[in-house]
Structure formats: structure tokens, C-alpha cells
Structure 1
Amino acid sequence: MTSLLPAPRRTRAPRGDRKDTAHRRPLVLLGALAGVGAACSTLVVCLAGGVIGWFLTDAGAHGAPRDGLRVGATGWLMAHGSSVRVEGTVITALPLGLTLLAAVLIWRLGLRLGDSVSGHGPDADAIADGMRDWTVASATGVFTLGYAVVVVVTHHLAATAATSPSLARTLVWTVVLCGVIGGSAIAVGSGRAAIWTSFLPLSLRAAAAAAWRILIAYVAVSAVVLGIALVVDWDGAVNVMSQLHTSPGAATLLIGLCVLVSPNATLFSGSYLLGPGFAVGTHTLVAPTGVVLGALPMFPLLAALPDAGPTPGWTAGLLALPPLVAAVAVYRTLRSYPTSRWDEAALRGVGAGLACAVGFALLAAVSGGAVGPGRMADVGPFVFQVLLHGVATFGIGGLVGSLLATLRHRRSAQGQRDVTITGR
């Protein structure tokens, strides 16, 4: 019991001891506060956006600020996977811009939580010797629980009979976001990830690093292609805005909505570059080999869609972008993981391509959904075909990049040997 008594006022611990004490604060308290903080950070942004949107729509002439708060909270739930009803129509598509913001904040606060709990559990030597360590698992569980509490409270306050947001879908997405992204951040911040990955084979670490670089580079290229397509048909987007006869406030809201769903459009663009393309309504197709469209809603971002009918011959050349991106990314990555064995290099490159294909297919799967009534209930990439094309294209690109990196390494090693022999 004496350990619970406060220390004498004149006693000051050494600086190193104070720092160690700061890293041994109660894990449950730190995890719960981090989870609640991560959830409330994006929730406050959405609530503020809802109030601003309510005011911009008609300068507050109709409704009350609480209506804007409810819309913002519903949007926050949608970013976490909830389906909602809008005038009787079920909307299941996620605004991935908000989801991405939530993921970034979960990662940042997860890193800080990991650093705060790094003093819990066994030390690095004991972990390396195989001692069980539940620090990351416990912190992740408490972090997820704190986040889920905010989700449940928000759902209870924002749900109405007309909107009917799905609590089950939201909780599933909360567990996925906090478990995968938050758990990974906690492992990295606490130093456990560095210890665990040191036991993995070098080839596996090299393939994972290359797969991540391929995915990031390919998403960036997809965003650039989307931006170019939108700029080329900028007049179409402006024409849509003029036909809607929106007020400046409503136009601002519409542009903000375009920004929120731009990550969805980027993944659509990536699916297009892989070949299978995507659908913008039932029985539609947008692919490099052909475009079949029906009636489309008045939405400025849709101006980036190609014209219906046969596509120009040069669009087939866009199919070379995915393997080229994979080859360059793998080549640049594997220069940091050199190997002289051709079979090992091929395994790394192909493995990186396969992992990237699976990762992009998962992202494509969450980018679509129902966005309106009737035929607009089927919008999104053809996920299975995207996976198959990704396996082929990223795999081939990864193989080429890994072989080129190995060839460069072998030539460099041979040149060093020749210099050494000549010097002798």
C-alpha cells in the first residue's frame, strides 16, 4: 500500500527515471483516451462540416443547426461503413476521403499510444528470446473499445427512422480500422514491429516493401490519370454546374462532395488502367476496350468519363502503365535488398506483384456501392477481374523489375571484383 502514497515534495527522480515512468502509465487509460480521441477528432470535423453545409445551403432559412449536426454525424458513420437511407434509397458507398482522414488520425494516435506503452511488458531481449508479450494486443483492444464507444453513442444520437444507419456495419469497419491500422501503428510506435520483423526472412521483407511501394505508386499514377481526364473535359464539368443552377453555397458543397469521393474515383481510374474497368450503373462498362453508358446523374466528377462507344486506339497503350509502374517500383526497392540469385530475385518480384494485386483489389472492393435508386445501385469496379488482371500485370512488372535490379547488382559486383584483381 505504501507504493500508492505520493512521493515527498523535495524528492525528484532522475531525468531518465521520469521518462521511464511516463512510459509506464496505465495502459487501459492511455488506450481508451487514444481511441476516444481518434474517433472524436474526425467526428468534430464532420459535425462542423454539417453545420457549415446547413448554413451554406439556404443561409439557415430552414431547419436548425442540430439538423446540420445530424447530417455531419451521419456522414461520419458512412465513412465508417454504415449504409444510410436517403428518401427511401439505400446508399452503401463510402466517402473514402473521410475514411482516409480517419485512417490517418488512427495511425498517428496509434503511434503515440505505442510509444506511451513501450515500457509495458517484457523488454526487447526477453521478447527476442520468445517471451509472450500482450502489450500490443491489449493496447489495440482497449483502443478499439474506446473508438467503438464513440461510434455507439454517435449512432444513438444521430439515427432516425428515415436514415436508418447500420450500427453493425459501422462496428465491423471500426474493428477493421482500429485493429489493422491502429494495431500496426501501436506495434511500430512501441518498437515491437521492429523486433518481430527481424525474425522474418529477408526475401519476405523485401517483397513486402516492394509491394507497398508498387501500391502507393500505382494509386498516385491513377490519381494523375484521373486529373488529366477531368482537365481534358473541364468544360463538361463546368456545364454540369451551370445546368444545376446552384447558388454559390450549394456549389461549394458540391465541390466538397467531389473532393470527398475523389479517392473512390482514383480507385475507379486504377481499375480502368488494369483493363476490366468499372460500372457506373447497371449494364454499363467503362474500360479501355469500350465504353457503354446510360443516363448519368448531374455530378461534375463524372465529366472525367470517356465518351460512350468505341475507344480510340491509343487507349490500349494505357494498359502498359500498371506493369511499368510495378517494374520501376520493384527495381528501386530491391536496390536496397540486393541479391545475386536469379530465382530469389524472381520470387521477390513476383511476390510483390501478387501482394499488390490483392491489396488493390481490396481497395477497389470498398470503393463502390449503391449511390442512388434504380440502376445507380451498381457502381464500382469489377473486383474479381481487377484481381486477375492485377496478378498478371503487377506480377510481370515485378518480375521484370527484380531481374533488372539483380542484373545491375551482379554487374556492379563483377566490376568490383575486376577492380580488385587489377589492383593486385
Structure 2
Amino acid sequence: MTSLPSSISRRAGDGYRSAAQLRRDLATRRPFVPTATLGGALSAAGPLVVCMAAAVVGWFLIDAGGHGEPSDALRVGASGWLLGHGSGIGVDGVRITAIPLGLTLLCAWVVWRVGHRVGESLSGHGPDADRIADGERDWTVPLASALFAAGYVIVASLTASAVASLSSAPSLPRVIGASLLLSLGVGGPAIARGSGRAAIWVPALPSSLRAALALARTILVWWFAVAALALAIALVLDFSTAANVVSQLGAGAGDTVVIALLTALVLPNAVLFSSSYLLGPGFTVGTGTLVTPGLVVLGPLPMFPLLAALPSGGPGAEWTSWLMLSPVLVAAAAAARWQHRNPASRWDEAALRGCGGGILAGVLLGLLTLLAGGAVGPGRMRDVGPFASDVVLHSMTAFGIGGLAGALLMVWFQARGGRLRARLASVRGRLPGRR
């Protein structure tokens, strides 16, 4: 993490400065407006160029460039990048609104990395650590985040305008909204961390809030790992169906590569579908369908290999109802581990940590689940996705109860272990030779 320059190294009248100090000043005091604005533009342009290059490569792999023009492939790549920002797009009169979250995660990762570098480059601007500690206001991060977001939004808006047509018609407001969410929600914290301001601001937050946030992150990471494992097991158990789908598509080597890439882009969506299934509410894969642990109702499905993970239609097996205990167990295990590593001295503090972290994890999971579905085709396929509102209620309840139980159980074990160690120490003190 970048630390703020001290007041001693920042004063111009201190006389001679070493070459290392000069290099540090140059690295942390780059031009403010160009650095922040270009950083936002580059964080948007990087994944955009990757998407367009991948589209051109896929165009050659599928038919060796026999149909269409390179400009068409570039337009497809740019449209895919916009789709990752929730723009929606029209294809042959069919509106596609589902977001490939794998692409969104790639964009978020690039924004974080570039934002962190921008923060490092601008860390020398504004008041130093001593002056901030004295109460001086520091606008470095807010201003840099605003300029960063402006650069990102400009690239996104120009891309949407260039791709827009009567048939595709990406939604510019949704692109701008997603761009602001990424650049401010991800880029802003990255700039704060890279500039060293986060190291000053975070300790000022209430300890209970910091603990709840950290526990919520742990619960979500563990839960996504469990949901991904469940998805992988379902695919392995019915791998022959996925292979049969690929063979029926008559896909060659190039087509198979493109299908694998598309599957990777929607894997985060599939993990959220798996999460909703394990929580109980389930999801729909078309109008009039339902996939839950207790009941599975399916209709005609598109030929996509990832759909091989769907369970067979009909009432669920008796054991599947026990899957709904998994979120409680995951939250309890995560809270117990957190309490073990960060002991709370009081029962009420541990309860607040566990329950608050679990509820917060449930809210965040519900917000992410909102992004997992959408229209993926005509007719029935306009209604595909988890039941996000039910996921919020189920996850808040399950994670909250599990977090509370796990934290309190670990406090009990720690208290019991402390009393046992005290008794052992007392016994050792009475033994001959211990005095």
C-alpha cells in the first residue's frame, strides 16, 4: 500500500534531497487531471480492445472470415463489452438483456488495478498524513475518482454511440449507470487504497462495522466456493449430456473454442443460479419453469452445454431438501473461524459481529443475484434467472442465524478453553518443583 509522503519530504525549502526522494516525488505527484482522466479511459478501453480482438479471432475460427467483414466482428466485440455493462442488445429482433458477469468481473478487475496505480501516482497531491491527522480536509480521492469516472463514461458513451443502430439499440442510460458504478464503486476504493488514504480512513470506522464487513466478505467467498462446487459436481455427474450437446451442434475445433469462451463468460451467472438453488428459492429457465430442491419443472431448452447441470424434472429427491442447511453451516463455519482469528472479549460483541456480518452478506448476495438473470432469447427465454427477492430473504435469514450461532459457539469454546488453561496452570503451580 502506498504511504503518504511525510511533511518533511514535502517541503520545498528543506534544501538538498536525495535522488530516491526526487524519484518518489515524481512517481507520486504526476499531473492530477490528465492522470486521473486517462486512467479511467484506459480502464474502459483495455477490456474493450480485448473483446474486439477476441471477436475477430472468433470470426476467423468459425468460418475463416468467409462471411462478413472485420468491422462486423469488431462491432460484435464492442457490443459484447457493452452487454457486460448491462446495455442490452437486439439480435434479429430479439432483445437480449442478460449480463455476462464474467465479462463484468474482468472489467471490474481492470478498473481496480488501474485505479490502484492512479492512486499511487497521485498520492503526493493534497495534504500529507500529518495534516490530515490534524483535521485538514483532503479532496484528492473524491476529485480523482470523479475524473476517473468521467474518463470511463466518455469511452463507454462513445462506444455505445458507435455501435448503436436500429436493430441493436444498446441502452445508453444503463451503460452510463454501470460505468459510474464500476468507476466509482470499484475505482474509487482502489484510488483510496493506492494513495494511502484508505489506511487513514478505515481505522476511523467503528470496529463493529469493520468486523461485520470483513465477516460478510468471508461468508460470501466461502458461499460462492460451495455454490461453484455444487455446479461442478452437477456438471461432472451429467458430463455426457454436455458432450452430446456439443456433438449435436456439429461444432468444429474453432466453434468449440468459441462455445467454451461463451461458457466461461456466464460461469459467474451459473454460480449465482446454483446459489439460489441451494438457498431454496431456486430459479427459472423460461416462462413457466421452476428449478428448486423440492420441485423441478422444465420445458424445451436451448442447446447450451452448461444447461446439462440442471436436475431432472419432477419432485426432488428426499435428500435435496437438506441442501438448504448449507448456507447456515457455511455462515457458522466462517463466523467461527473469524472469531477464532479475531477474538471478541464479550458475548454481545461476538453476537453483533456474527449476526451483522451474516445479514450484510445476505443483502450483498441478493444485490448480486439481481444481475444474474435476464432475457436470453425469444418467447419463453425472456424469463431466465434466480428469484432475487426471495434470495435476499432466505440468505439474510440463513447467513444471519449461521453467523450468530458460529460466533457464539466459538466464544463459548474460547471461554471454556481459557478456564481449562487456568485450571491446568493452577495444578502445575501446586506440583513439587514448580514453586
Does TM, scored on the shorter chain, surpass 0.5? yes
Aligned partners of 1:336 and 1:98: how far apart in 2? 35
Instruction: Deviation per CA, 1:167-199: give whole Å up to 9, x if none.
Output: 111110000011111111111111212211111
Deviation at 1:13, TM superposition (A): 5.0
8 Å contact 1:110–1:186 — kept in the other structure? yes
Q: How does 1:12-411 map to 2 (within 5 A)?
A: 14-411=19-416
Quick check: 159-168 or 355-364, which moved more? 159-168
SS at match of 1:165: coil
8 Å contact 1:339–1:409 — kept in the other structure? no
Instruction: Deviation per CA, 1:126-166: give whole Å up to 9, x if none.
Output: 32333221111111111111111111222222222211111
Quick check: 262-271 or 31-40, which moved more? 31-40
Aligned partners of 1:316 and 1:418: how far apart in 2? 45
8 Å contact 1:42–1:76 — kept in the other structure? yes
How many residues were matched structurally? 414
8 Å contact 1:280–1:379 — kept in the other structure? yes
Deviation at 1:21, TM superposition (A): 3.2
Instruction: Deviation per CA, 1:295-338: give whole Å up to 9, x if none.
Output: 11111110100011111111112112111111111111222321
8 Å contact 1:47–1:68 — kept in the other structure? yes
Instruction: Deviation per CA, 1:268-320: give whole Å up to 9, x if none.
Output: 00011000011111121111011111111111110100011111111112112
SS at match of 1:367: coil
8 Å contact 1:94–1:366 — kept in the other structure? yes
Amino acid at match of 2:263: C
Aligned partners of 1:238 and 1:384: how far apart in 2? 34
Deviation at 1:416, TM superposition (A): 4.9
Aligned partners of 1:388 and 1:12: how far apart in 2? 60
Q: Structure 2-normalised TM-score?
A: 0.92
SS at match of 1:279: strand
Do the aligned partners of residues 379 and 113 (structure 1) sit closer, same or farther apart at CA in structure 2, a change above 3 Å counting? same
Instruction: Deviation per CA, 1:91-117: give whole Å up to 9, x if none.
Output: 110111111101111111111111211
Aligned partners of 1:128 and 1:358: how far apart in 2? 34
8 Å contact 1:290–1:309 — kept in the other structure? yes
Q: Look up the match of 2:9.
A: none
Instruction: Deviation per CA, 1:330-365: give whole Å up to 9, x if none.
Output: 111222321131111111100001000001101100
- Post-superposition, which runs of at least 4 consecutive aligned residues in structure 1 deviate over 6 A? none
Deviation at 1:258, TM superposition (A): 0.9
Aligned partners of 1:318 and 1:144: how far apart in 2? 42
Aligned partners of 2:125 and 2:321: how far apart in 1? 56
Aligned partners of 2:321 and 2:134: how far apart in 1? 55
8 Å contact 1:334–1:405 — kept in the other structure? yes
State the percentage of identical aligned residues: 54
8 Å contact 1:206–1:334 — kept in the other structure? no
Aligned partners of 2:349 and 2:416: how far apart in 1? 17
Aligned partners of 1:419 and 1:127: how far apart in 2? 49
8 Å contact 1:326–1:398 — kept in the other structure? yes
Show structure 2 runs of 5+ residues with no match. Answer: 1-15, 430-434
Aligned partners of 1:412 and 1:110: how far apart in 2? 45
Aligned partners of 2:357 and 2:106: how far apart in 1? 27
Aligned partners of 2:418 and 2:23: how far apart in 1? 50
SS at match of 2:50: helix
8 Å contact 1:54–1:67 — kept in the other structure? no
Amino acid at match of 2:59: W
Do the aligned partners of residues 412 and 133 (structure 1) sit closer, same or farther apart at CA in structure 2, a change above 3 Å counting? farther
8 Å contact 1:47–1:69 — kept in the other structure? yes
Show structure 1 runs of 5+ residues with no match. Answer: 1-10
Amino acid at match of 1:262: L
8 Å contact 1:114–1:188 — kept in the other structure? yes
8 Å contact 1:274–1:390 — kept in the other structure? yes
Amino acid at match of 1:52: V
Do the aligned partners of residues 14 and 249 (structure 1) sit closer, same or farther apart at CA in structure 2, a change above 3 Å counting? closer
SS at match of 2:291: strand
Aligned partners of 2:389 and 2:97: how far apart in 1? 19
RMSD: 1.6
Aligned partners of 1:157 and 1:174: how far apart in 2? 17
Instruction: Deviation per CA, 1:34-72: give whole Å up to 9, x if none.
Output: 112211110111011110111122111111111111100
Amino acid at match of 2:60: F
SS at match of 1:283: coil
Amino acid at match of 1:57: I
Amino acid at match of 1:297: P
Quick check: 23-32 or 331-340, which moved more? 331-340
Q: Look up the match of 2:4.
A: none
Do the aligned partners of residues 62 and 211 (structure 1) sit closer, same or farther apart at CA in structure 2, a change above 3 Å counting? same
